[in-house]
Amino acid sequence: MPFYQYFNGEILPIDSPVFKTNDLGLLRGFGLFDYFRTYNGVPFRWDDYWQRFENSARLLKLILPVSQQETEKVLADLHALSGEQEVAFRFVLTGGYAPDSVNVVQPNFLIRTEALPQDNPAGRLKGIKVLPYDYVRDLPEVKTTNYVHMVLMADELRRQQASDLLFHKEGEISELTRSNIFIFQGDKLITSDRNILKGITRKVVMELAKPHFEVEIRPVMYKEVIMADEVFTTSTTKWVMPVVQIGDLPVGNGEAGKRTLFLQQLFEKLVADWGK
């Protein structure tokens, strides 16, 4: 069955055009989004994702046109129409149509139902390479639609057979383009608390790690990352993904670390049992 989308109160086929050309998301890049998925047919950490979406909207001074409960009903309808056991949902909230191309009048709210992204089991076992990139995002706590640096660097990432960019500024790291970053120093797990989007997978992994490791949430320096015993990144699509190379430098012995793989197994068990 085909996927469907919700737009400002209507459910439409996924290929239906919805935005007019004077939307502030198009004219000014003024918009935000969020993205999450189901496991065993149940949305994963729905309350956490909604709270983050609400927070992003508040920081951009956009009023959400529907409540969490109303949105939950829309998600159930979209999921049922898809005919699929597992789906991904993409929320997009823009500044809406602006006659003067500047001022917000009424936001536009889109929910897309999408097929799950292609998995990367090889990356989870062998790890990925990332490239250091001197940059820190504007409004990092907001999941804005601005991914211009990732798109600009796409060719270079392919050329160097790298999977992502590691953002750093003035000696301090923040995040990857679409995921958070963790390091292990021995049995101490450390992750940044500044200039980051507070990932839901990041939150889950810290919960899973606390019974087993000391967890520190603090600014993390670039030097610490390249000298770390293990490095990994977390996101909805990456889960717990080892990082084994940063630019030309291997992380540790250049292989996925045992502590990282242990957390990966804990996360995989959690999602396998989700909703049961």
The pLDDT of residue 1 is 62
Please answer whether residues 184 and 159 qualify as being in contact, where contact means their C-beta atoms are separated by less than 8 angstroms. Answer: no
The pLDDT of residue 2 is 84
pLDDT in 10s for each residue of the chain, 276 residues: 689 999 999 999 999 999 999 999 999 999 999 999 999 999 999 999 999 999 999 999 999 999 999 999 999 999 999 999 999 999 999 999 999 999 999 999 999 999 998 777 788 889 999 999 999 999 999 999 999 999 999 999 999 999 999 999 999 999 999 999 999 999 999 999 999 999 999 999 999 999 999 999 999 999 999 999 999 999 999 999 999 999 999 999 999 999 999 999 999 999 999 998
DSSP 23: B
Q: How far is CA 153 from the centre of its chain?
A: 18
What's the Cα-to-Cα distance from 197 to each of 109, 203, 215, rounded to whole Å? 21, 11, 18
What is residue 41's three-state secondary structure?
coil
The pLDDT of residue 117 is 84
Query: Rounded to an integer, what distance in angstroms lies between the CA atom of residue 165 and that of residue 219?
Result: 18
Structural domains of the chain sorted by starting position, each given as residue range(s) with its CATH number in brackets: 4-114 (3.30.470.10), 121-272 (3.20.10.10)
The pLDDT of residue 103 is 95
What's the Cα-to-Cα distance from 256 to each of 137, 235, 274, rounded to whole Å? 28, 17, 26
Count the residues in the chain: 276
Please answer whether residues 25 and 19 qualify as being in contact, where contact means their C-beta atoms are separated by less than 8 angstroms. Answer: yes
Task: State the pairing for strand pair 239-246/128-134.
Answer: parallel
Q: How far is CA 262 from the centre of its chain?
A: 22
Read off the tokens for 43: 């949305």
What is residue 242's three-state secondary structure?
strand
